[in-house]
Amino acid sequence: MPKGSASGVLEFNDGSKNNRKFDLEERLLEFASAVIDLSENLPNSRAGNHVSGQILRSGTSPFPNHGEAEDAESRDDFIHKLKICLKELRETRRWARLIKHKGWVNENVSLIFILGESEELIRIFFASVQTAKKNALVEKRTPATAPRCPSGEAG
């Protein structure tokens, strides 16, 4: 399925002399942890409990779903699981925006992190889905080549 280094660590060149390294699994783990922290700080009211449950479900989902994508049974399965991660990240961003709009947790470090990180993770997963779709299309268009005899020799 996805190609990458054996360690699972991605390297990005941000234009500086040093490459920034990060592990997507670790980022998703930190994201899920921040969502849990945020949900624990929402008001204990009917609306607060509802939103807490919703953001808790959507915000912790990308972490295990990414693990499922890493063990996908096919390219289509891989794409489907990446799309689930993307969908859940978008939903989490919406809930976080509502929490901010309601002013339920002013200047909360977890909320600030979730709003910023959700944007970055959405971009990463969107690009990954597009790349995987493009690769699948190329793979489908490339005809399977039969083994050929070298130098035109007949078998």
Confidence of residue 147 (pLDDT cuts 50, 70, 90): low
CB 126 within 8 A of CB 79: no
Say if 86 falls within a structural domain: yes
| Mean predicted confidence (pLDDT) in 94-110 | 96
Say whether pLDDT at 4 is over 50: no
Say whether pLDDT at 10 is over 80: no
pLDDT score recorded for residue 12: 40
Does the residue 7 lie in any domain?
no
25-45 mean pLDDT: 98
Establish if 6 belongs to a structural domain.
no
98 alpha carbon, distance to own chain's centre? 21
Query: 117 lies in which domain range?
Result: 24-140
Split into its structural domains, the chain has a count of 1
Please give the pLDDT value at position 96: 98
User: Do the domain assignments include residue 134?
Assistant: yes
The CATH number given to whatever domain includes residue 36 is 1.20.1440.60
**Closest alpha carbon to 86 in 100, 69, 101:** 69
Percent of the chain surpassing pLDDT 90: 72
**Within a domain: 151:** no
Distance of CA 38 to the CA centre of its chain: 19
80 in a structural domain? yes
Closest to 85 in 3D by CA, of 37, 25, 42: 25
